[in-house]
Amino acid sequence: MELTGQSNSGSQTGQGSSSGGGSGADSADSTSSGTSSEGFGSAPANPVYRPLNPARFGTTDIRCVITVGGRCEVPFIGNAQTEDEDAVLDAGDSLTVVTISDIASFAPRAAVQFMQPDRWMVVGLPTNFYAQIDRHVVSGTLLGQPADVRFTPRAYNWSYGDGTTALRGTPGNTWQALGLAEFDPTATSHVYTAEGTYVIDLTVLYTAEYRWAGGAWTPIAGHVELPANRLVAQATSDAVTVLVDRDCGRAPVGPGC
């Protein structure tokens, strides 16, 4: 289900772009060491580690990040004060509960966002935005012991540069992968109503789990926010010109190519 929110911020301009294709669906866990984001692009800011705050998402369900119509749309992995005794582990000689701030040295990989068409849009028609990021494991030292932290992307907060934002429960995908025609609406598409240059930002919300010595995964209350790459694109009303350019040799990113 689509999750949207509105803001009153003005439009922005800037530099940067990205292109490519693929799916943002979860795959088998991948592992990296330390705080590297290698292989998924770089982010314009450091991750933000937030403790559990259900009110921030308009829900009182501590096991859910986002609810829609009383149903959990984006589930929360868990709560550090869970009934599962595995959430409290013996670290050395003392019982330790790991908090979201304890994993600040473990940085998740940044998502990569894309758009269709690539770096341009037609006023009044849907522009398809999507992101690529999988669940992954980062290895390092936690409270003085070797440990793994597993990050799972759960929600995607787009800022379209025209004063609107949208919080989605899916990273989206290409029109082709979704079996749709060009300019069909998608769960992550957006329609621009005026010409201009727009800056599109995406922040991904991750939940985290940890384990010591290859033990069972234990959820950590809260989440981590990390920006993806920034896109800059031009919106035009001249749909006749851009839609009839089907010479893929001359315009390889044009419609139908």
Q: List, in order of start, the domains of the chain with CATH numbers.
A: 5-243 (2.60.40.10)
Amino acid at 256: G
- The confidence score (pLDDT) of residue 236 equals 94
Higher pLDDT among residues 225 and 71, named by residue: 225
Distance of alpha carbon 90 from alpha carbon 96, whole angstroms: 6
Q: What is the pLDDT of residues 181-223, one digit of tens each?
A: 999 999 999 999 999 999 999 999 999 999 998 899 999 999 9
For residue 200, what are the β-bridge partners? 231
The model carries a pTM of 0.67
Q: What is the mean pLDDT of residues 53-70?
A: 45
Distance of alpha carbon 64 from alpha carbon 71, whole angstroms: 9
- The confidence score (pLDDT) of residue 240 equals 55
Q: What is the pLDDT of residues 150-159, one digit of tens each?
A: 999 999 999 9
Percent of the chain residues past pLDDT 90, beyond the cut: 53
Q: What is the pLDDT of residues 5-45, one digit of tens each?
A: 434 343 333 333 333 343 333 445 766 544 333 333 344 57
Q: What is the mean pLDDT of residues 51-69?
A: 48
Distance of alpha carbon 115 from alpha carbon 162, whole angstroms: 16
Residues 6+ apart with CB under 8 A from 55: none
CA nearest 200: which of 162, 169, 171?
A: 162
Sign of CA dihedral 74, 77, 80, 83: positive
**225, two tokens:** 């926010």
Q: What mean pLDDT value characterizes the chain? A: 74
